[in-house]
Structures are given as structure tokens and as C-alpha cells.
């Protein structure tokens, strides 16, 4: 088990990290030429700090050029725009079956959960009806919030608001329920491992986040790919459904975009654009020339 997992799950949980243009040689942005259009692929990390407010120059230019936006979920959808509704849906999916509880599911490891939730300022009893994956993501989100990261500052939120004002359509590659279902579909032993790993790694989160964000700021796709590869080796049962399986599910829709007339800006988590069976690699396997900017 490595110490990078919490940081990489931060990248999955959902805004790109902004950096001055002269601070990096490249950006986590790729272009793909279709028959009559261009599709831009922007890698994001989905939550951001208030001080990191500037949209990267390459992303800003791609936004201006694009007639439509595509994101992991449709940020213009009324149900997605209501955080309370999204949380309610997430909690519904996260409920354990009748007769089960977090205490019984975790068994002897429940003491570690009680200690971790207490350190986060939560009463473990309030989480007792929820599956381990939900508890893990809740604790991770709390750790990120302590460090000033929030979705409201993220690139997706700001691009979505700008698109609404500019009347640019937004499409989603999947629904929130489908996203939550990735973790909810993990067998309970893997969910338990995920929760315990999150508890163990929270102390090292700052260092790992710094490494991840610096790689993003430099446009260092190789460094991001190495981070993801290391996690695949240690926990393939988690990272395959989080990344590779979703990439394959998206690719048909993305190739359809390349047969359109409009230019598109596609914004997905940065880890979907690097490494084996990434969106970039899958498009290249289909004969497309994908160029990093």
C-alpha cells in the first residue's frame, strides 16, 4: 500500500490547477482533429483553492474556440447544480442493506474508523448506516476542505458558469449516480480496504497533493502517468473501475464528437488522459492524432 492513493483519489473526486503560463512548458490539454472540427481534451483535478483562480491560458483559448463543452457530468443540469440534491442521491446509493451497519461490516477495524472520524470532528455513529466507500470519501473531502479546496473554486464550476452566460451548451459523459456507483459497486472487502487506506494516508496528504499539483502545473503527463501506474500496481481493483473502465465507456461518445461540425472542449479528470488505456491512448488506437499543447 502506497501513500499516493488519497492524492490520486483527490484527482478523481473532482478543477484544474491554474499556473502562470511561463511556469510550465506544456499544459494538461490535448487537441484532436476531427473531419471538420477540433476537440480539446483538458485534464482537471475538480477542486481548487480560492487563490488559484486564474484559468490556464491554453484552457481559456480552447474555451473561446469551442462551441460546446463536455464534462464528466452536465454541470448545467438543474439536479447537478443543487448540492443538496446531489448529496441526497449520493447518500441514497451509499446506504448499507437493511440489517448491516458500518460497525458490523468493519468488524475489528471499526476502532480505527472511530478514531479517524473523531479526529475529523465527526461522530462515527452518524455514519453507521453508510457503506465504507462513502465514509472514506466523506473523510477525504473534509481533509481537502481543511486545506481550502472546494468545488466552487474549481475550473468546471467556473467554466460551467461562463458557458451558461455565453449560452454554450454543456453535455455530460455520465450522471452523478453513475459516478457514485463506481465505488458503490466495489465488493465490501475492497471498500473496507479503501476506507482503512484513507485513514492511514490522511497525515501524508499535503506532500502527495503537492506532488500531484506540481505535475499538473508543469503539464508533466509522464509524472502523472507514473503516479497512476504505481497505484494500479497496488490496488488495480479500485483504479481499473475509476479510470480505465470509465475511459472505455466514454470513448464512443468522444469519437462521435469528432464527426461533428462544432468544436468541443472536453473537461475530465487529468488521470483519465494519461497512462495506459487513457482517453488519449484509446483515441490514438483508433487512428486519431492527439497532440499535447
User: What's the CA gap between 92 and 69, in Å, rounded?
Assistant: 29
Contact 247, 272 (CB under 8 A): yes
Q: Cell match 491560458: residue?
A: 57
Residue spans of beta strands (DSSP E) within the chain: 29-33, 38-44, 68-71, 170-172, 264-269, 290-292
User: What's the CA gap between 117 and 45, in Å, rounded?
Assistant: 25
The pLDDT tens digits for 139-189 are 998 998 998 888 887 778 889 989 999 999 999 999 989 999 999 999 999
Confidence at residue 18, expressed as pLDDT on a 0 to 100 scale? 36
**Alpha-helical runs (H) found in 107-154:** 110-119, 132-146
Confidence at residue 153, expressed as pLDDT on a 0 to 100 scale? 78
Confidence at residue 49, expressed as pLDDT on a 0 to 100 scale? 81
CA 290, chain centre distance (Å): 22
Intervals of the chain under pLDDT 70: 1-25, 52-54, 78-81, 203
CA distances, 251 to each of 141, 198, 247, 273, 284 (Å): 29, 30, 6, 12, 11
Count how many Cα atoms sit within 13 Å of the Cα of residue 290 in the half-sphere of its side chain: 23
3-class secondary structure, 143: helix
Closest C-alpha among 234, 209, 224, 231 to residue 270: 224
C-alpha cell at 100: 448491516
Confidence at residue 23, expressed as pLDDT on a 0 to 100 scale? 39
Confidence at residue 10, expressed as pLDDT on a 0 to 100 scale? 58
Contact 227, 211 (CB under 8 A): yes
The pLDDT tens digits for 217-238 are 788 999 999 888 887 788 899 8
3-class secondary structure, 130: strand
Confidence at residue 126, expressed as pLDDT on a 0 to 100 scale? 95
Amino acid at each position: 500500500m502506497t501513500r499516493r492513493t488519497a492524492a490520486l483519489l483527490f484527482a478523481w473526486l473532482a478543477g484544474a490547477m491554474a499556473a502562470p503560463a511561463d511556469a510550465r512548458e506544456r499544459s494538461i490539454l490535448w487537441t484532436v482533429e476531427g473531419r471538420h472540427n477540433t476537440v480539446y481534451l483538458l485534464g482537471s483535478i475538480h477542486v481548487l483553492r480560492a487563490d488559484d483562480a486564474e484559468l490556464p491560458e491554453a484552457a481559456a483559448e480552447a474555451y473561446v474556440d469551442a462551441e460546446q463543452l463536455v464534462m464528466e457530468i452536465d454541470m448545467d443540469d438543474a439536479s447537478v447544480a443543487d448540492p443538496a440534491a446531489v448529496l441526497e442521491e449520493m447518500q441514497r446509493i451509499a446506504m448499507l442493506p437493511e440489517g448491516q451497519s458500518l460497525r458490523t461490516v468493519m468488524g475489528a477495524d471499526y476502532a480505527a474508523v472511530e478514531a479517524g472520524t473523531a479526529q475529523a470532528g465527526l461522530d462515527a455513529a452518524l455514519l453507521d448506516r453508510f457503506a465504507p466507500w462513502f465514509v472514506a470519501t466523506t473523510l477525504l473531502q473534509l481533509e481537502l476542505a481543511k486545506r481550502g479546496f472546494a468545488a466552487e473554486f474549481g475550473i468546471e464550476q467556473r467554466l460551467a458558469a461562463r458557458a451558461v452566460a455565453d449560452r454554450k451548451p454543456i453535455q455530460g459523459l455520465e450522471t452523478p449516480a453513475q459516478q457514485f456507483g463506481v465505488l458503490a459497486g466495489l465488493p465490501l472487502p475492497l471498500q473496507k480496504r479503501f476506507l482503512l487506506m484513507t485513514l492511514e494516508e490522511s497525515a501524508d496528504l499535503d506532500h502527495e497533493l503537492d506532488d500531484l499539483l506540481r505535475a499538473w502545473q508543469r503539464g508533466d503527463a509522464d509524472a502523472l502517468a507514473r503516479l497512476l501506474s504505481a497505484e494500479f500496481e497496488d490496488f488495480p481493483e479500485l483504479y481499473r473501475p475509476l479510470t480505465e473502465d470509465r475511459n472505455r465507456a466514454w470513448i464512443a461518445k468522444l469519437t462521435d464528437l469528432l464527426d461533428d461540425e462544432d468544436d468541443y472542449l472536453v473537461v475530465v479528470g487529468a488521470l483519465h488522459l494519461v497512462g495506459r488505456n487513457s482517453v488519449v491512448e484509446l483515441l490514438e488506437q483508433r487512428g486519431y492524432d492527439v497532440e499535447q499543447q
